[in-house]
């Protein structure tokens, strides 16, 4: 086999440049497998939605592949399938975009990239397709409306973000999705899909020149925005704790607890990231799993995470447990969190966390797929190009005091959103 | 998150394009230890990491009535300490080595894996060898862990109407085959399980002659063999109990069932008994069935999505799936969610009509070519993941098929003709071997209690 060395701490050879149309390209050449991964992302995620038209951003992205460049959705699907290419989409609070995985052989690659170019630059937004997709989405939303995990997530996000668009459901609401129009989609597309806001990430069996040509092909026909990306409103901290108790006939209660957390470019990123590994991110090595599952058998899954976005993403703790013992589990979580914030981690815990995160670094970049995901993130959030090279050093530099300090400043056990779906539990 | 789990492929109702294969795979080496344990190594030097898996040929199909779920419970208990290692030290040790680890139980097998830097492979093998022979299985740990497993069952099955439907469907579709039991076990069996049940299971099946080690990554096969010999070699083999064939008796008429559960949308699941791969060279029907899945549901261009979801708009979703690699019997599934205004009966008729069309008119060369193109591309794409490659080899080996047969399987898939696809459709999609399961949704109006203080 041909090999590319991606050793633990050596530099990952990321090449980056900007096209004359303004798009930024992030590229890694890797000849080991005869395939290419390419993605193009835009600041057009659900954080760009409004309450009145919640779901518009996602529906816009979804429709782009369902008719473009004079091709019907079936023609696009058939031509993709004919060359074995895989077209995927990425959609979250910040980002919206498409990714393509194709063989690098000329015929296959040519056909796949031509389709991606059309989807990105010439979507047709057919009215009949929109009506059908609205109906399907509404059906899914109706189903979600009675699932305890979905109910909990909705109540949690709403309480966490109040009027901030991060609190909107990425798939919208039944009444807003039902009202979406082709004109709205076209306008949203025109307002958000600009060449000079595009992030192109490419990895695989091709040269820099070929990557450059592909990036042009995928973005040259997009318009140019005269202004920068409009900033999202900052997420405001919670003013008071929120407790929501929602009855549901399921056998388990779903418990979520949290608050606005951290940003991608956050000065506290590494202390909170490492600290969370110890609290609830490190599986069996974490305190939440130890207290909730290992010591007491209260739940199959218990966790905490920080989801970093452009603005404050959520800090979230979650578990599911037989509803009769929900109160007990909630008490254990609260006590565990409070103690962790009060006392911080032990030196031993911090060492164990570092051992895992540092020693496990090679696992983060041991496939094209994983490296490609990092390229897209580094590009979109303007992270330093040596982000991955410095990842290990940044982890190693974290101290017990930094974790304790960061958690004390950023996580307030007395100022949390707590949602329990199931009941009857009295959230206090 | 990183939890031992019943990684239930049984719930793969989504499309599975074709049977697993690994064409053009890297060099694979094999060595069998004197105690009967097979070591399989594939080199992949793209990154300095390794995926290591120990596969036991013992899954829920090897259980007995009244003790369903014990294979999966033992999987959980395998993390609960050995004579030399305290409970949960396995996971903590792998974590401290920068590794990730987990396990999964299926009908056919139980498997344990680690992903780590190549320098840590000996540590992982030492820990696996330790728990293969020295598991403690204390009553206290069992008492806590069985509660965890029951929470897992509540989470994944009791409160998931479609999972409940699938469980009931299997219980009805199979009569004599142990595939009729849920992998996670019936709740009542879990409630009455004792640590002695787990002990008996461990003593019966956890022996090197019932295990295989699969390693894929940046390794030298000879070095892996040497370390494996050192760690696993001293473990004595034990005689394995006989396995009864438990062949599923022929079904003689359509079976129907309804499951009620909280929900808004009905859901339809249909299954026909079909063969699976037993002889990779001589068999042709399983390959034809795999191609049929590709034609019906292999991509957005496939028939079901195009005709039922996009054109006729009578379904919110519609799919077909078939797993050709099983120790037990095979089943071909079709499923779907009717669009608002369409009844379940109408959707059933439409799915049957889609099959009828294959029988009457066959499939086009264009469609077959399309599916084959996807098969070929996916062979390449799969090689991006060393974990996936280890999975495929472990699964094939456990089922008793040659794990390095990817090229052969790919060739056989490419040889499938339109006539063969039509022939399997004609032969197997008959009502006498069909089970139809319907989820009857019961509306629940969640209501918010008064906000607490």
Residues of B in contact with A287 (CB under 8 A): none
Q: A58: alpha, beta or left, given left = phi > 0 and alpha = psi -120 to 50?
A: alpha
Query: What integer pLDDT is reported at residue A377 of this predicted model?
Result: 97
Task: Give residues 212 to 231 of A whose Cβ lies within 8 Å of B.
Answer: none
Average of per-residue pLDDT values in chain B: 92
- The pLDDT tens digits for A309-343 are 999 999 999 999 999 999 999 999 999 999 999 99
Report the alpha-carbon distance of residue B346 to residue B138 in Å, rounded: 54
- Give phi and psi for A314, each to the nearest 5: -75, 145
State the DSSP H helix or E strand holding residue B273, giving kind and residue range, or none if neither.
Answer: strand B267-274
- The pLDDT tens digits for B69-103 are 999 999 999 999 999 999 989 999 999 999 999 99
User: Distance, in angstroms, between B251 CA and closest chain A CA?
Assistant: 34
Please determine, for residue B448, whether its predicted confidence score (pLDDT) is greater than 70: no
Query: What integer pLDDT is reported at residue B124 of this predicted model?
Result: 98
Higher pLDDT, residue A426 or A203: A203
- The pLDDT tens digits for B138-187 are 999 999 999 999 999 999 999 999 999 999 999 999 999 999 999 999 99
Query: What integer pLDDT is reported at residue A427 of this predicted model?
Result: 54
Contact B100 A284 (CB under 8 A): no
Residues of B in contact with A367 (CB under 8 A): 46-47, 384-386
Residues of A in contact with B157 (CB under 8 A): none
Of all residues in chain A, the one with the smallest CA distance to B450 is: A245
Task: Give residues 313 to 332 of A whose Cβ lies within 8 Å of B.
Answer: 320-322
Report the alpha-carbon distance of residue A196 to residue A222 in Å, rounded: 9
User: Do A318 and A293 meet the contact criterion of CB atoms below 8 Å apart?
Assistant: no
Report the alpha-carbon distance of residue A372 to residue A14 in Å, rounded: 10
Query: What integer pLDDT is reported at residue A423 of this predicted model?
Result: 72
Give the model's confidence band at B446: pLDDT under 50 very low, under 70 low, under 90 confident, else very high. low
User: Do A252 and A323 meet the contact criterion of CB atoms below 8 Å apart?
Assistant: yes
Of all residues in chain A, the one with the smallest CA distance to B386 is: A367
> Nearest by CB to B446, which of A85, A151, A361?
A151
Contact B301 A78 (CB under 8 A): yes
Give the model's confidence band at B337: pLDDT under 50 very low, under 70 low, under 90 confident, else very high. very high
Intra-chain end-to-end CA distance of chain B, in Å: 32
Strand ranges of the sheet holding A302-306, from the earlier edge strand across to the other edge = A302-306, A314-322, A252-260, A417-422, A242-247, B447-448
Show the CA angle centred on residue B372, arms to residues A97 and A37, nearest 5°. 25
Contact B151 A4 (CB under 8 A): no
Intra-chain end-to-end CA distance of chain A, in Å: 60
Question: What is the distance, to the nearest Å, from the Cα of residue A127 to the centroid of all Cα atoms in its chain?
Answer: 29
The yes-or-no answer on residue B239 being catalytic is: no
Enumerate residues 6+ apart whose C-beta is below 8 A from A212.
A17, A19, A25
- The pLDDT tens digits for A99-158 are 999 999 999 999 999 999 999 999 999 999 999 999 999 999 999 999 999 999 999 999
> Nearest by CB to B47, which of A86, A248, A362?
A362
Give the model's confidence band at B443: pLDDT under 50 very low, under 70 low, under 90 confident, else very high. confident
Q: What is the DSSP letter of B120?
A: G
Give the model's confidence band at B17: pLDDT under 50 very low, under 70 low, under 90 confident, else very high. very low
Report the alpha-carbon distance of residue A361 to residue A369 in Å, rounded: 15
Six-digit token string for A141: 């939303």
Query: What integer pLDDT is reported at residue A3 of this predicted model?
Result: 36
Report the alpha-carbon distance of residue A178 to residue B197 in Å, rounded: 54
Report the alpha-carbon distance of residue B334 to residue B317 in Å, rounded: 11
User: Distance, in angstroms, between A301 CA and closest chain B CA?
Assistant: 8
Return the number of other C-beta atoms located less than 10 Å from residue A68's C-beta: 24
User: Do A304 and A262 meet the contact criterion of CB atoms below 8 Å apart?
Assistant: no
Query: What integer pLDDT is reported at residue A425 of this predicted model?
Result: 54
ipTM of the complex: 0.93
Distances (CA, A) of B198 to A93, A415, B136, B181, B435: 46, 44, 11, 17, 33
Tell which of A3, A281, A324, A360 to mutate to test the B interface (max B CBs under 10 Å): A360
User: Distance, in angstroms, between B44 CA and closest chain A CA?
Assistant: 7
Task: Give residues 387 to 406 of A whose Cβ lies within 8 Å of B.
Answer: none
Task: State how beta strands A417-422 and A242-247 pair.
Answer: parallel
Query: CB distance from A240 to chain B under 8 Å?
Result: no
Question: What is the distance, to the nearest Å, from the Cα of residue B131 to the centroid of all Cα atoms in its chain?
Answer: 23
Query: What integer pLDDT is reported at residue B280 of this predicted model?
Result: 95
Catalytic residue among B63, B75, B141, B367: B75
Place of tokens 């996602």: A58
Residues of B in contact with A82 (CB under 8 A): 369-370, 373
Query: CB distance from A111 to chain B under 8 Å?
Result: no
Residues of A in contact with B49 (CB under 8 A): 362-363, 366
Average pLDDT over residues B418-433: 97
> Nearest by CB to A251, which of B158, B301, B385?
B158
- The pLDDT tens digits for A202-242 are 999 999 999 999 999 999 999 999 999 999 999 999 999 99
User: Do A270 and A324 meet the contact criterion of CB atoms below 8 Å apart?
Assistant: no
Is residue A424 reached through a cis peptide bond, with omega within 30 degrees of 0 on the bond before it? Answer: yes
Query: CB distance from A73 to chain B under 8 Å?
Result: yes
Query: What integer pLDDT is reported at residue B444 of this predicted model?
Result: 77
For A72-103, letters b (16+ CB in 10 Å) and e give ebbebbbbbbbbbbbbeebbebbbbbbbbbbb
pTM: predicted TM-score of the whole model, two decimal places? 0.93
């Amino acid at each position: 086999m041909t090999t590319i060395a991606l050793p633990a701490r050596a530099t990952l050879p990321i090449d980056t440049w900007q096209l004359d149309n303004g798009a930024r390209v992030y590229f890694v050449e890797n000849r080991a497998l005869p395939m290419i991964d390419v993605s193009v992302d835009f600041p057009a995620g659900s954080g760009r939605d409004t309450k009145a038209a919640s779901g518009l951003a996602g529906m816009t992205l979804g429709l782009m592949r369902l008719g473009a460049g004079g091709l019907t959705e079936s023609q696009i699907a058939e031509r993709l399938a004919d060359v074995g290419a895989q077209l995927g989409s990425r959609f979250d609070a910040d980002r919206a975009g498409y990714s393509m995985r194709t063989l690098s052989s000329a015929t296959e690659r040519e056909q796949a990239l031509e389709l991606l170019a059309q989807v990105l630059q010439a979507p047709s937004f057919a009215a009949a397709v929109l009506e059908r997709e609205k109906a399907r989405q509404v059906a899914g939303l109706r189903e979600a409306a009675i699932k305890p995990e979905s109910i909990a997530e909705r109540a949690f996000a709403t309480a966490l973000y109040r009027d901030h668009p991060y609190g909107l459901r990425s798939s919208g609401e039944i009444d807003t999705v039902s009202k979406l129009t082709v004109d709205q989609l076209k306008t949203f597309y025109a307002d958000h899909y600009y060449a000079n806001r595009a992030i192109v990430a490419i990895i695989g069996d091709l040269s820099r020149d070929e990557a450059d040509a592909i990036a042009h092909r995928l973005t040259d026909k997009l318009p140019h925005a005269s202004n920068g990306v409009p900033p999202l409103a900052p997420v405001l901290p919670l003013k008071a704790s929120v407790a929501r108790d929602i009855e549901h006939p399921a056998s388990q209660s779903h418990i979520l607890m949290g608050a606005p957390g951290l940003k991608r470019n956050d000065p506290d990123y590494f202390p909170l990231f490492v600290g969370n590994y110890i609290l609830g991110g490190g599986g069996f090595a974490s305190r939440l799993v130890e207290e909730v599952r290992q010591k007491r058998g209260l739940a199959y899954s218990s966790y905490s995470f920080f989801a970093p976005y452009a603005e404050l993403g959520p800090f979230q703790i979650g578990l599911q447990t037989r509803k009769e013992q929900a109160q007990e589990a909630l008490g254990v979580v609260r006590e565990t969190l409070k103690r962790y914030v009060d006392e911080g981690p032990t030196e031993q815990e911090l060492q164990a966390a570092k051992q895992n995160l540092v020693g496990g670094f090679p696992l983060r970049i041991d496939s094209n797929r994983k490296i490609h995901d990092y390229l897209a993130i580094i590009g979109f959030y303007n992270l330093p190009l040596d982000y991955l090279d410095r990842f290990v050093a940044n982890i190693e530099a974290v101290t017990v005091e930094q974790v304790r300090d960061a958690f004390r400043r950023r996580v307030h056990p007395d100022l949390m959103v707590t949602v329990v779906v199931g009941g009857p539990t009295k959230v206090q | 998150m990183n939890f031992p789990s019943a990684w239930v492929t049984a719930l793969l109702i989504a499309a599975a394009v074709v049977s697993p294969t690994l064409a053009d795979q890297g060099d694979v080496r094999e060595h069998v230890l004197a105690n009967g344990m097979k070591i399989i190594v594939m080199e992949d030097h793209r990154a300095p990491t390794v995926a290591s898996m120990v596969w036991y040929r013992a899954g829920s199909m090897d259980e007995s009535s009244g003790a369903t779920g014990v294979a999966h419970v033992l999987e959980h208990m395998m993390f609960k300490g050995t004579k030399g290692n305290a409970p949960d030290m396995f996971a903590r040790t792998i974590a401290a080595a920068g590794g990730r680890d987990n396990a999964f139980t299926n009908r056919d097998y139980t498997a344990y894996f680690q992903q780590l830097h190549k320098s840590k492979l000996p540590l992982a093998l030492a820990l696996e060898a330790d728990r293969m022979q020295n598991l403690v299985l204390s009553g206290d740990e069992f008492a806590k862990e069985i509660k965890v497993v029951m929470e897992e069952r509540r989470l994944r099955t009791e409160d998931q109407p479609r999972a409940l439907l699938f469980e009931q469907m299997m219980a009805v579709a199979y009569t004599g085959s142990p595939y009729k039991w849920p992998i996670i076990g019936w709740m009542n069996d879990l409630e009455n399980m004792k640590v002695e049940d787990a002990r008996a299971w461990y003593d019966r099946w956890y022996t090197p002659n019932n295990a295989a080690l699969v390693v894929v990554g940046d390794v030298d096969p000879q070095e892996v063999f040497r370390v494996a010999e050192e760690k696993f070699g001293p473990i004595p083999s034990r005689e394995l109990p006989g396995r009864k064939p438990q062949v599923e008796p022929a079904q003689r008429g359509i079976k129907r069932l309804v499951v009620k559960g909280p929900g808004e949308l009905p859901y339809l699941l249909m299954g026909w008994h079909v063969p699976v791969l037993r002889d990779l060279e001589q068999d042709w029907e399983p390959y034809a069935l795999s191609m049929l899945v590709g034609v019906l549901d292999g991509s957005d261009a496939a028939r079901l999505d195009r005709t039922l979801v996009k054109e006729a708009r009578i379904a919110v979703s519609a799919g077909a799936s078939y797993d050709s690699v099983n120790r037990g019997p095979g089943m071909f599934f079709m499923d779907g969610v009717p669009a608002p205004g369409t009844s379940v009966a109408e959707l059933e008729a439409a799915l049957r009509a889609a099959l009828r069309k294959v029988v009457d008119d066959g499939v086009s060369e264009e469609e077959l070519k399309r599916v084959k193109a996807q098969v070929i591309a996916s062979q390449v794409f799969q090689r991006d993941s060393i974990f996936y490659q280890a999975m495929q080899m472990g699964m094939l080996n456990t089922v008793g098929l040659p794990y390095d047969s990817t090229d052969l399987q790919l060739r056989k898939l490419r040889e499938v003709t339109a006539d063969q696809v039509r022939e399997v459709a004609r032969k197997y999609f008959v009502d006498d071997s069909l089970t139809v399961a319907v989820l009857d949704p019961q509306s629940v109006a969640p209501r918010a209690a008064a906000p607490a203080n």
